[in-house]
Structure 1
Amino acid sequence: MDELEEIRKRRMEEIRTDLEKANWPAEAMIISDADFEDFVSRYPLVVVDCWAEWCGPCKRVGPIIDSLAGQMQGDVVFGKLDTDQNQLTARKFQITAIPTLLVFKNGQLADRMVGALPKANIQEKLKAFL
Structure 2
Amino acid sequence: MTVHNIATKAAFDEAVKKYPVVIVDAFATWCGPCKAIAPIISNNVQRMSDDEKYKDVFFAKIDVDDLPELSQELGISAMPTIIAFKDGEIGDKVIGAKPQEIQALVAKQL
TM-score (norm 2): 0.85
**Does residue 48 in structure 1 map to residue 29 in structure 2?**
no
2:10 maps to which of 14, 30, 34 = 34
> Matched residue of 2:10: which SS?
coil
Aligned match for 2:83, one of 92, 98, 102: 102
What is the deviation of 1:108?
A: 0.8
Q: Distance in 2 between matches of 1:65 and 1:40?
A: 20
Shift of residue 34 of structure 1? Answer: 3.0
Query: 1:91 and 1:61 mapped to 2: Cα distance?
Result: 22
Structure label with greater radius of gyration: 1
The one-letter code of the counterpart of 1:91 is: Q
Q: Tell me how many residue pairs correspond in the alignment.
A: 104
Query: Residues of 2 paired with 1:75 and 1:36: CA distance?
Result: 16
Q: TM-score if structure 1 supplies the norm length?
A: 0.73
2:101 is matched with: 121
RMSD: 1.4
State, as a whole percentage, how many aligned pairs show the same letter.
Answer: 38
Structure 2: state its 5+ residue gaps. 50-54
Greater share of residues in strand = 2
By relative contact order (CA 8 Å, sep 6+), the higher-ranking structure is 2
Offset of 1:56 from its aligned partner?
0.5
Structure 1 unmatched runs, 5+: 1-25
Structure 1 residues 75 and 67, CA, compared in 2 at 3 Å: closer, same or farther? farther
Contact 1:28 1:65 in 2 (8 A): no
CA displacement 1:14-38 (0-9 Å, x = unmatched): xxxxxxxxxxxx2210002231110
- Report the Cα distance in structure 2 between the residues aligned to 1:43 and 1:61, rounded to whole angstroms: 25
How far did residue 105 of structure 1 move? 0.4
Match of 1:112 in 2: 93
Cα deviations across residues 41-88 of structure 1 (Å, max 9, x unaligned)? 221111100000000001122222222322222142210000001111
Match of 1:14 in 2: none
Q: 1:60 aligns with which of 36, 47, 52?
A: 36
Residue matched to 2:61 = 80
Distance across 1 between alignment mates of 2:77 and 2:39: 22
